[in-house]
Structure 1
Amino acid sequence: MTQITGHIRKMTATLQAGQVSYQLPLDDQMLDLMPLIGKPLTLTHSGHIHCQECGKKTKKSYSQGFCYPCMSKLAKCDMCIMKPETCHFAQGTCREPKWGEENCFVPHYVYLANTTAIKVGITRHTQIPTRWIDQGANQALPIFKVSSRLQSGLVETALKEFISDKTNWRNMLKGKAEPIDLKEHAKNLIPQIEHKLAELQLKYGQDAIEKLEQDVVEIDYPVTEYPSKISSLNFDKTPQLGGILLGIKGQYLYFDTGVINMRKFTSYQITAEF
């Protein structure tokens, strides 16, 4: 048996020819998960959690991997990251203005995705297709390119009057989404927000929002068997868990004993045995 010990970081994913491949970072080590599918994998939590920002030990992980002080002061943990339409940079109250300039005042995309139902979402240009993979989408279509995170949030808010921005994670985990004609949905949705787009362009400039004509991205995940019932695994309740690794989708590992959202346990120190 082989053992690797380290602190969990978000699984990295690559998309080639529509197929996703995963690796699990454990500190400075990368565990290639693809050869382990169909084989036993045991994950044991040591009981230690260390903030991914400052490295200090914390009893609880906040905002997926931070201690409370770091969560309270870092711009990446502010509520406007979850709700970009509430960006307060212009009011001079950004927690980290330099970070904001580097991460929020860069091109963002508004997209439609199919995660068993159609949804709208946003992402930085650097996070395509990672964002779609993290959500477990089987299809994705960028429909707008905008100049900042705030603008992407405002466009998304307009679209949320007509479609959801949420993923039903239980349905997503139960199987592959039935194909949806995302281009047809975009064709029907965009005219319904034209007045809002015009208002935003008047405020931010005609070049701030660009309509896109792109192909739908198809995404297939390495899952050998989908569960009919979702049973969640949790390091806080069961420090040692695992079983036969049946597949990976989004940030979830599928075992024959249940599923676990690995991103939820970012900064937990574990030992992987296989």
Structure 2
Amino acid sequence: MTFEGVLTKMETEFTQPIQYYLVFENDFINMNQLLGKIMIMKFVKYQCLNCGLDKPIFRQGFCKSCFFEIPQAADWIMRPELSTAHLDREDRDLEYEKKVQLQPHIVYLANSSNVKVGVTRKSQIPTRWIDQGAHEAIEIVEVPNRYLAGITEMALKEYVSDKTNWRTMLKNDIVDENLVEWRERLKQYIPDEAKDYFIASNTETNLEFPVIKYPLKPISLNLVKAHEYTGKLAGIKGQYLIFEDDTVFNIRGNEGLVVNISVK
């Protein structure tokens, strides 16, 4: 079997374990079915997810010129506290910003390498947790816009991490935590503007990933430099492919690469 297309983050289905799909323009691969099989990946070229040109990818699947122009890559994407659509104030494209920012957002706790706080649109639960490789997660606050979620995250990250250690996550060096207790502990630090949106009733969500063998010392694959890689797929966690030789490949981090994939 041979497939070719531009990488975008894997689509997922919340089952036990998670089902993963690599979607190309005219085809898709159920990645779970490739566990235990040999994959040959080849770098073909770049294809910016916005302009479609064969230009080096800068960040988030976009070439450098697109990254600094399009609303999908504005600062408020990574820093939600910078959102201004609720003030009717444009950053790059007010219509797009209203569409994304003025919808329900969740502030959550997720445990992937450690307990961390994060923000996502309500429509992205549990997808966001899956993409981070969290084995357990819980919602703290549901607010009507991205700005309120952003300032809540800013307040809470004084007391809990907002980062995931990807190596620890992939090695599965994890400790189960009582996220309900964490939520109750952090409640007092929620900003006044968001206190009324506190969620007190939810239990934590548990996630199971399709992994045969976790890597002892994850080695990140740079497919552009290597140009080609052959390995046996041993697992999928977060947006990473895990291979038997401890090589790992971050699909999300390589969006915008056109690849050729053969399966033996």
1:192-215 CA distances to partner (integer Å, 9 max, x unpaired)?
x15x2x2x25xxxx86x3434212
- C-alpha distance in 1, partners of 2:256/2:27? 14
Q: CA deviation at 1:35?
A: 1.1
The equivalent of 1:38 in structure 2 is 36
Please state how far the C-alpha of 1:27 moved relative to its aligned partner: 2.6
Per-residue CA shift, 1:94-131, capped at 9, x if unaligned?
20111111111000000011112111001101111110
1: CA distance, partners of 2:33 / 2:159: 42
- In structure 1, the partner of 2:233 is 245
Tell me how many residue pairs correspond in the alignment: 261
- 1:78 equivalent in structure 2: 74
The 8 Å contact of residues 109 and 140 in structure 2, kept in 1 or not, is answered as: yes
Please show how residues 15-26 of structure 1 align to structure 2 within 5 Å. Answer: 15-16=14-15, 18-26=16-24
Are 2:21 and 2:28, in contact at CA under 8 Å, matched by a contact in 1? Answer: yes
Per the alignment, residue 92 of structure 1 pairs with 89
Question: What CA distance in whole angstroms lies between the structure 2 residues aligned with 1:29 and 1:53?
Answer: 20
Could you tell me how far 1:242 is from its partner in structure 2? Answer: 3.0
The answer to whether the Cα contact below 8 Å between 2:60 and 2:73 also exists between their aligned partners in 1 is no
Moved over 4 A (4+): none
Q: How many angstroms does 1:91 deviate by?
A: 7.1
Name which of 108, 112, 127 aligns with 1:130.
127
- Which of residues 252, 255, 262 is equivalent to 1:266? 255
Which residue in 1 is equivalent to 2:138? 141
| Deviation by residue 1:46-88 (Cα, 9 ceiling, x = unmatched) | 1x11111121221x11222112222111112011111111224
* Distance in 2 between residues matched to 1:91 and 1:104, nearest whole Å: 11
Does residue 64 of structure 1 match 2:52? no
The counterpart of 1:29, out of the listed 27, 30, 42, is 27
Please give the alpha-carbon distance, in whole angstroms, between the structure 1 residues aligned to 2:69 and 2:84.
15
Aligned partner of residue 65 in structure 2, secondary structure: helix
Structure 1: which 5+ runs fail to align? Answer: none
Q: Percent identity?
A: 34
Q: Tell me the residue number matched to 1:4.
A: 3
Aligned counterparts of 1:14 and 1:223: Cα–Cα separation in 2: 16
Change (3 A) 1:173 1:214: same
Map of 1:153-164 to 2, 5 A cutoff? 153-164=150-161
* Cα drift, residue 176 of structure 1: 5.8
Once residues 217 and 242 of structure 1 are traced to their aligned partners in structure 2, the CA distance between those partners, rounded to angstroms, is: 35
What letter is aligned with 1:263? R
Q: Distance in 1 between matches of 2:74 and 2:128?
A: 19
CA contact (8 A) 1:143 1:213 kept: no
Cα deviation for residue 28 of structure 1 reads 3.0
| TM-score after normalising by structure 1 | 0.91
Counterpart of 1:8, as a letter, is L
Q: Structure 1 residues 127, 176: CA separation in 2 closer, same or farther (over 3 Å shift)?
A: farther
In the aligned structure 2, how far is the partner of 1:139 from the partner of 1:176? Answer: 14
Mapped contact 2:141–2:199 kept (Cα < 8 A) = yes
- The amino acid that maps onto 1:138 is H
- Equivalent runs, 1:153-192 vs 2, <5 Å: 153-175=150-172, 177-191=174-188
CA–CA separation in structure 1 for the residues paired with 2:143 and 2:244? 43
